[in-house]
Amino acid sequence: MKITVIGSGYVGLVSGACFADVGNNVLCLDVDERKINMLNNGEIPIHEPGLEGMVVRNAEAGRLKFSTSYDVAVEHAEVIFLAVGTPPDEDGSADLQYILAAARSIGQRITKPVVVVDKSTVPVGTADKVRAAIGEEVAKRGVNVSFSVVSNPEFLKEGAALDDFMKPDRIVVGGDDAGALKLMRQLYAPFSRNHEKFVAMDVRSAELTKYAANAMLATRISFMNELANLAELLGADIESVRLGIGMDPRIGSQFLYPGMGYGGSCFPKDVKALVKTAADNDQTLHILTATELVNENQKNVLFNKLVRFYGGVENLRGKTIGLWGLSFKPNTDDMREAPSLVLIRNLFAAGASVRAYDPVASKEALRVLTLEHGAEKLQASLEIVGKAGDAVQGADVLVLVTEWKEFRTPDFNDLAQVLRDKAVFDGRNIYDPEVVATAGLRYEGIGRIG
Ligand code: NAD
Ligand code: UGA
């Protein structure tokens, strides 16, 4: 099938590469010339395990092409996926300007029937707006060309995106055009043995399904974070509690990990957008409002522990905090809404400085932190180093922020030698408190008996 993907970011590029990998002829479009130039040179603008090999393999086979030209992209396609960003607007709602701009660009050019697929995460009712935007442009041209709009939300996770896309749990498609649904079934057949993963529904339900999934997962995390904070007060260990409840198949063991709050480009914005959608319809989503509030507080949890450890915020002045991990989760360089940004902000405000190491996100972190704090402040208060060991040299304590594999088994005796104030703050509960304590280090986790 001839597919165009509009928006070549995390979702667009992964979707395009995976569709090409099963034999489709794919053109990925983006308005960002830098990205398209990189891709045309075999360079991948984002860090996603396995993506580079898949992109290069399919580009070399001639099945995957990149362009900034809407003329070329629209002419190419039988199916057009919209995978542009839907960032939060000031009031929390999803900003649809990129989606609607892309829809108009399609309407200005289509000459043959096409199925337009909303893959971006968009509020209920967006398919109608996309249909109207395309229709208006087609009408302006006075041509007669048919098109369908379906919703096909994406459920991949960064860091595991290829696997999630190639082996999805389910493929949700919303639409009322039988021909378009049939085409979507064919397109997804290679990812859906005997079609058993294909769930067809109406457009609005498909749009809401995406928000429901992210909101449910975010709520589980906030629930566990709140319970972790209670466990600390009660002298219980949240890790035992997590195991104890996760073995109940009705609960399940995934997404029960307490930490420094959920980050990333999706949970925070999607929870806000759903709360706003409800408010626009005169409903208050009490549970999700609490989910968000708990998450905002949780991003401060390690800073508050540092303040307690030092006996007051004033005692953090002049301290050097070693940080392991900057990205919002392992296996990505994505810094959007990363909990590390809140911790660094708090540390700078307290007059502490930071020595940080991240296996892949250093460059992106530096870019984002420079935008927030300015180069001068960073020069004075932040050093991003090239090795985990260098981040603890000359540091007073270590804070584990992102659970990259390479941080899992440090030599705690070595750490006890270098850390001046002999303490490890484990923001993801990856260390055994007893092992850390045996090396002569104070251990602070999230909701654990330290
Ligand atoms: P992204 O920011 O990585 O990529 C979006 C791309 O769209 C950018 O490269 C941008 O230049 C391009 N773009 C913007 N306007 C354009 C236009 N008019 N024409 C062509 N290109 C345009 O975003 P992302 O993380 O891939 O997310 C895309 C959508 O998918 C969002 O709605 C997001 O919520 C959803 N989503 C993301 C993930 C994820 O893990 N990142 C997972 C599931 C769903
Ligand atoms: C999330 C969803 O998992 C995907 O299904 C969805 O498609 C995507 O959002 C999206 O809509 O964009 P992603 O944000 O890439 O994927 O990463 P997750 O693995 O879900 O992690 C999100 C955040 O939650 C991270 O900060 C992570 O550290 C945190 N988290 C996750 C926890 O604190 N505890 C957990 O148990 C799991």
Query: How many angstroms is it from 5 CA to the middle of ligand 1?
Result: 11
The answer, yes or no, to whether residue 194 has pLDDT greater than 70, is no
Ligand 2 neighbour 294 (Cβ under 6 A) = no
Long-range contacts of 159-163 (CB under 8 A, 24+ apart): 159/48, 159/49, 159/329, 159/330, 159/331, 159/332, 160/49, 160/331, 161/10, 161/14, 161/48, 161/51, 162/14, 162/17, 162/18, 162/48, 162/49, 162/50, 162/51, 162/54, 163/50
Instruction: Say which of 266, 274, 301, 356 is annotated catalytic.
Output: 266
Ligand 2 neighbour 110 (Cβ under 6 A) = no
Q: Do domains 211-295 and 299-444 have the same CATH topology?
A: no
Binding region: 30, 35, 86, 121, 155-158, 210, 255-259, 263, 269, 329, 336
Measured distance CA(361)–CA(326) in Å, rounded: 6
Percent of the chain topping pLDDT 90: 98
Percent of the chain topping pLDDT 70: 99
Contact status, residue 447 vs residue 238, Cβ threshold 8 Å: yes
- Summarised one tens digit per residue, pLDDT across range 297-308 is 999 999 999 999
Measured distance CA(353)–CA(224) in Å, rounded: 30
Task: Report the topology of domain 211-295.
Answer: N-(1-d-carboxylethyl)-l-norvaline Dehydrogenase; domain 2 (1.10.1040)
The answer, yes or no, to whether residue 388 has pLDDT greater than 90, is yes
Residue 371 pLDDT: 97
Residues 6+ apart with CB under 8 A from 73: 4, 6, 27, 29, 67, 80
Quick one: which atom of ligand 1 is closest to the CA of 158?
40
Confidence of residue 428 (pLDDT cuts 50, 70, 90): very high
User: Mean pLDDT throughout 262-279?
Assistant: 96
Residue 196 pLDDT: 81
Contact status, residue 303 vs residue 347, Cβ threshold 8 Å: yes
Residue 19: phi and psi, rounded to 5, are -65, -40
Ligand 2 neighbour 104 (Cβ under 6 A) = no
Ligand 2 neighbour 10 (Cβ under 6 A) = no
The answer, yes or no, to whether residue 195 has pLDDT greater than 80, is no
Structure tokens at 123: 């509020």
18 included as an active-site residue: no
Question: Is 299-444 a CATH 3.40.50.1370 domain?
Answer: no
Quick one: which atom of ligand 1 is closest to the CA of 32?
11
Task: Report the topology of domain 2-201.
Answer: Rossmann fold (3.40.50)
Which residue owns the Cα nearest ligand 1 atom 15? 98
Which residue owns the Cα nearest ligand 1 atom 41? 10
Contact status, residue 135 vs residue 99, Cβ threshold 8 Å: no
Confidence of residue 450 (pLDDT cuts 50, 70, 90): low
Rounded to the nearest integer, the mean pLDDT of the chain is 97
ipTM of the complex: 0.98
Measured distance CA(348)–CA(53) in Å, rounded: 40
Quick one: which atom of ligand 1 is closest to the CA of 10?
26
User: Mean pLDDT throughout 393-416?
Assistant: 98
Q: Which strands form 114-118's sheet, in the order they lie side by side?
A: 64-67, 25-29, 2-6, 79-82, 114-118, 147-151, 171-174, 198-201
Domains of the chain, by residue range, sit at: 2-201, 211-295, 299-444
- Give Cα 255 distance to the centre of its chain: 14
- Summarised one tens digit per residue, pLDDT across range 143-189 is 999 999 999 999 999 999 999 999 999 999 999 999 999 999 999 99
Minimum-distance ligand to the CA of 122?
1
Neighbours of 286 (CB within 10 A): 10
Q: Which of 11, 82, 169 to mutate to test the pocket of ligand 1 (most atoms within 8 A of CB)?
A: 11
